Copies of this chain bind each other. A is one copy, B any other.
Amino acid sequence: MTTLPRKESDSQKPLRLGLAGLGTVGVGVMRVLQTNAAMVTHRAGRPIEVVAVSARDRTKERGVNLSNVQWCDDPLDLVLNPDVDVIVELIGGAEGIAHKLVYAALEAEKGVVTANKALIALYGNDLAKLAKQKNIPLLFEAAVAGGIPVIKLIREALVADRLKKVGGILNGTCNYILTNMAKTGRPFQEILSETQKLGYAEADPSTDIDGFDAAHKLAILASLSFGHSVDFSGVFVEGIRDINPIDLKFAQELGYTIKLIGIAQQHEDERIELRVHPALLPSQSNLARVNGVTNAVITDGEFSGRLMLEGAGAGEGPTATAVTADIIDLARGNTVPMWGTDFTKLRPAVTIQREEFVRAYYLRLMVQDKAGVVADITAILRDNQVSLLSLLQRGEKSIENPDFPVPIILVTHKTQESSLLKALEQIRNLDAVLEEPVIIRIDNA
């Protein structure tokens, strides 16, 4: 007897969707399904129909045809609707109505497709358990890096491999801001305001610029890659608010580019290092060259080696393409356990603290230009086992005004972060050190 699973000649009946949220992505999904209806039907093997939608404002003109679609003021009514097979949740947010809707859909044994990274990062373990109990698929390709199909990559294409590292440039807003700060030399706040005007940053930008959006994505990628339960609270997060144009300039002089990166690494003892922070990347590296709103994801596997995917991390078309691909997987009957393996097989996540990170560091100290300052600083570093790769001192302005703070740039060899933090505590207390020291990690990603 063969044990090859054979596909039944599937139902040719339409797969019927209830779509919650008609923002950029929701409208995009409607547009993709309407524009490519015949092609999608051929490829999926059956028609895919949006039978009901829910959004805030019924009267708003959205540029897509909603005339044959039932309107629900309450998204939860989509779940009660017997004509709906699959809920497409594009409202967003870990709590509130999106949260309720996804749980209600699974309870009602309706399939779920979502782009909600916060929900998956915070409630992913619990959702996997419920989805398994109900034997219902929950897909979320668009939750990480928009149009870059990284979840399919890890959960299917790299399924046979053990990954050692995953991550990359996971937030287009931050990448856009840093790219433009580097290009123009202008300060963070100015560039942020412009980015908001262009629509690449939200009115309340903190989720992006403080690194939480990237951290949600990284927590999801790490869990998929290393087979442990998702642990958002284990991610070390540092945003880009404090990046100063002067550091972008010095970085460039030293052959580096500053990017916000998210990196997850599995250590030999199976503990996980999860970190989102600005980093100096060698300017010739692949990730350093990724500019503007573009995202890029790298994976490093034992057998597969290094892969890099680069593309649109957000935007109507790319994100809608990803959501619709999930819907077609459902229509084709092709599904994978939510975390790539049965959730009972996931190990608990044991994450390491920042004190245990081992990296090279860029330090900028603003000092009074007087005799002995460098000697004091380097002695403190030496006493804390932090060894120096290079030192750059620029004292031009202090010749006329000895009190004018001058920058000293130090680049360390790889060192444990705890040693550096101890050294910094002492350096901070030196009288000649006039401002809070700036530390930026160096990474070769």
Contact = CB atoms under 8 A, between A and B. Distances in A.
A286 B310 CA distance: 10
A40 to B, nearest CB: 6
Interface string A271-308: 00000000000000010010000000000011111111
A28 B304 CA distance: 11
A32 interface: yes
Contacts of A317: 302-305
Contacts of A147: 304-305, 307
Contacts of A156: 149, 152, 156, 325, 328-329, 334
Given A312-B305, A317-B302, A4 B85 contact: yes
Q: Which 7 A-B pairs have the closest CB atoms?
A: A149-B157, A5-B333, A160-B324, A303-B317, A334-B334, A307-B311, A4-B85
A40 B335 CA distance: 16
A16 B39 contact: no
Given A7-B333, A307-B309, 16 more contacts: A4-B86, A4-B330, A5-B332, A28-B303, A32-B160, A36-B162, A42-B345, A43-B340, A156-B156, A159-B328, A160-B327, A304-B311, A305-B311, A305-B312, A305-B317, A334-B334
Interface string A1-19: 0111111011101111000
A342 interface: yes
A318 interface: yes
Query: What number of copies of this chain does the assembly contain?
Result: 2
Contacts of A332: 5, 336
A157 B334 CA distance: 12
A7 B309 contact: no
A301 B325 CA distance: 14
A341 interface: yes
Interface string A330-371: 111111110011100100000000000000000000000000
A310 B312 contact: no
Interface in A156-175: 156-162
A: interface residue count bin: 35 or more
A409 interface: no
A320 interface: yes
8 contacts: A5-B332, A43-B340, A147-B304, A149-B157, A158-B325, A160-B321, A286-B310, A303-B321
Contacts of A148: 307
Contacts of A328: 156, 159-160
A32 B342 contact: no
Interface in A22-54: 28, 31-33, 35-36, 39-40, 42-46
A135 interface: yes
A124 interface: no
B333 A304 contact: no
